[in-house]
Amino acid sequence: GESVGLHLPTLSVQEGDNSIINCAYSNSASDYFIWYKQESGKGPQFIIDIRSNMDKRQGQRVTVLLNKTVKHLSLQIAATQPGDSAVYFCAENMRGSQGNLIFGKGTKLSVKP
Amino acid sequence: ETGVTQSPTHLIKTRGQQVTLRCSSQSGHNTVSWYQQALGQGPQFIFQYYREEENGRGNFPPRFSGLQFPNYSSELNVNALELDDSALYLCASRGGGTGGPVLEQYFGPGTRLTVT
């Protein structure tokens, strides 16, 4: 079935470097995508979103890129900090699904000091 | 913190038993969704409640059921527990009814259920 998945299960970066987390999706009916951060013992926390009619969106230290041609989503974190260590999920919202999100498996980001 | 609370934090049950998990929505939020998150996996949508009625369901059997109360708090009930039900159960609340923006969906910390 259609699903959201991630290319890499783990990512280790040096503090201060930029991080890029990738996600592939297969549902062309999705109208927007969300990146969540989940720290140990906590629920997913909203980071940034992007609608399907956009290619790029920037937040504070984060940028999300959407390539609809190859159905690829990425999250870029600038100047990665130890507090960024967590599991990151992309999620898609299918148009008309009444807000029920489809999550990928997640990428664990580890930041080395 | 999101304002969404869940209880209990952890729970251990035996296969075949029944369990009830509770969620208190963020103030003003009238829609609640429940997700199951197996270890090392992303959350999977179970169902959604709005105005005390289920109005969306994922691929989960009928032994997963829920309730939403007039104060918008919610319960997830699982009957005849199986070992594979061991997971983190998350609830998420949002306002605006079923058409409310998912972007403003806030997750609770979850209940860790272990079935032995």
- What pLDDT is stored for residue A3 in this prediction? 45
Indicate yes or no: CB of A99 within 8 angstroms of CB of B33.
Answer: yes
Number of domains in chain A: 1
To test the contact with chain B by mutation, choose from A27, A39, A101 the residue with the greatest count of B C-beta atoms within 10 A, namely A101
Which residue of chain A has the CA closest to B102? A99
Q: Identity (one letter) of the amino acid at A88?
A: Y
Report which of residues A9 and A22 the model is more confident about. A22
**Residue B47 tokens, joined:** 């169902």
Hey, how many other C-beta atoms are within 10 angstroms of the C-beta on B87? 20
| A40: closest CA of chain B, how far (Å) | 10
- The DSSP code for A17 is S
Q: Return d(Cα B82, Cα B113) in angstroms, integer.
A: 11
Q: Is B17 on the interface with A (CB under 8 A)?
A: no
| Sequence-ordered list of residues with C-beta below 8 angstroms from that of A37, at least 6 positions apart, any chain | A44, A45, A47, A84, A86, A87, A88
Q: Is A37 on the interface with B (CB under 8 A)?
A: no
Indicate yes or no: CB of A44 within 8 angstroms of CB of B90.
Answer: yes
CA B90 to chain centre: 5
Domain of residue A82, CATH code: 2.60.40.10
Mean pLDDT lowest for which of A12-21, B67-76, B90-99?
Answer: B90-99
Indicate yes or no: CB of B48 within 8 angstroms of CB of A100.
Answer: yes
Q: Is A40 on the interface with B (CB under 8 A)?
A: no
Of B4, B40, B100, the CB nearest to A99: B100
- What pLDDT is stored for residue B27 in this prediction? 79
Indicate yes or no: CB of A97 within 8 angstroms of CB of B48.
Answer: no
Report whether pLDDT(A2) > 50.
Answer: no
- What pLDDT is stored for residue A98 in this prediction? 65
Report whether pLDDT(A5) > 90.
Answer: no
Indicate yes or no: CB of A102 within 8 angstroms of CB of B105.
Answer: no
Report whether pLDDT(B78) > 60.
Answer: yes
The DSSP bridge pattern shows strands A62-67 and A10-14 to be unpaired
Residue A29: band (very low, low, confident or very high) from pLDDT cuts 50, 70, 90: confident
Q: What is the mean pLDDT of residues B44-53?
A: 92
Residue A1: band (very low, low, confident or very high) from pLDDT cuts 50, 70, 90: very low
- What pLDDT is stored for residue B91 in this prediction? 96
What is the tens place of the pLDDT at every residue in B1-41? Answer: 678 999 999 999 999 999 999 999 987 888 899 999 998 89
CA B63 to chain centre: 14
- What pLDDT is stored for residue A7 in this prediction? 47
Mean pLDDT lowest for which of A16-20, A33-37, A95-99, B29-33?
Answer: A95-99
> Of all residues in chain A, what percent carry a pLDDT higher than 90?
71
What domain range is A83 assigned to? 4-112
Looking at every residue in chain B, the average pLDDT score rounds to 91
